Homo-oligomer: A and B are copies of this chain.
């Protein structure tokens, strides 16, 4: 039972789609199929433009954005509330003119007012970037409000929504996002191997005008601008089987209904958090209102190590969790609620395994209270 923050296990229909025949990329059947997947993506992202698929997991996407979108004329404000937000700044730095940062403790989220102040103090800021959901912290930044401030300022807005999109209500256009980076391997329940980019018209214009934007490169976004259209060439061979998987993941997402999918992610996370507290444990996030519906980050008692907890949970209960990263490394256990395991019964199973493991390691946790509290949330 994989209750991690990704890779997560794929939906059964996605696993079956992975075993579809591998078509030749220039077979007209594949070309039309690829176009169709891109149009479904557009429906899922609710964008005016057709999203771009890059042929590598979102680390490729984030680097491609750093290289394609930014240039030396850019004054960038990177908003940092966790390890991934922090890391994105490092990828952007060599490509931009100046990199400003607004940081917050990693158990808190960015304050919109501080963003407004920063923007007011530096009218030359041309791009603002943020990680929507920093999984190592399990916190959700107020991207809609920040996006509004960025738009008013006249800057462009880059958002990493890799681990939140499709698990909650986050769409690029209502949040004034120009470059929206996500992937199928988290809440969509697909395997890792692709990046999905929602690119606004302003973002396309910026990239076209960018003299340092890569071309003929795996880091190029521009190369893929028209590739979604049947009959247009691919810059290089797309990952056919991953596209097959994405197709099935999109079908599932759209057929179940985004609202229904978000609701079960949220319910699972709420049940999990209630259980954690009832067990006598603590959530990493400073308050419940900023806690993620797709990941619950649990602060570990100081008497145990994260790797011991992982080992016992796996050996005794067959449950796999994630550990922390960056600042939270060694201090937390992360329980993912993504895709197929974003169902409340998995919150109970996760709580049982975590409390069981902690108990075996000598921590005084109330597993019964944890499960009961989770059930009580589920039943409401």
User: Chain A: residues with CB nearer than 8 A to chain B?
Assistant: 1-2, 4, 6-10, 12, 15-28, 55-57, 59-60, 63, 90, 185, 191-193, 216-219, 236-242, 245, 314, 316-320, 322-323, 343-345, 348-349, 352-353, 355-356, 359-360, 366-375, 378-379
Contacts and interface: CB of A to CB of B under 8 A. Distances in A.
A355 B348 CA distance: 12
Number of copies: 4
A356 to B, nearest CB: 5
Nearest to A245: B241
A356 B375 contact: yes
Contacts of A24: 2, 4, 6-8, 320, 322
B26 A16 contact: no
Contacts of A191: 22, 239-241
A57 B237 contact: yes
Contacts of A10: 21-22, 241
A24 B238 CA distance: 24
Most buried by B among A20, A193, A360: A193
Contacts of A237: 6-7, 57, 59, 185, 192
Contacts of A322: 24, 26
Given A193-B193, A345-B318, A379-B359, A217 B368 contact: no
A352 B22 CA distance: 23
A201 to B, nearest CB: 27
Contact of A7 (B25, B314, B343): B25
A100 to B, nearest CB: 21
**Across chains A and B, which 5 residue pairs bring their CB atoms closest together, nearest first?**
A368-B372, A368-B368, A371-B371, A18-B18, A193-B239
Most buried by B among A4, A345, A355: A345
A251 to B, nearest CB: 14
B320 A348 contact: no
A56 B55 contact: yes
Contact of A372 (B4, B367, B374): B367
Nearest to A9: B22
Contacts of A375: 352, 355-356, 359, 367
Given A26-B323, A317-B345, 8 more contacts: A7-B237, A10-B241, A16-B17, A241-B242, A352-B371, A356-B378, A368-B371, A371-B371
Contacts of A316: 344, 378-379
14 contacts: A15-B22, A24-B322, A56-B218, A57-B236, A63-B217, A90-B216, A193-B193, A193-B242, A241-B242, A317-B378, A352-B352, A352-B375, A356-B375, A368-B373
A21 B7 contact: no
Nearest to A238: B192
A99 B343 CA distance: 51
Contacts of A372: 366-368, 371
Contacts of A1: 345
Nearest to A15: B19
Contact of A368 (B6, B360, B369): B369
A218 to B, nearest CB: 5
A216 B318 CA distance: 33
Given A18-B19, A23-B2, A368-B368, A360 B379 contact: yes
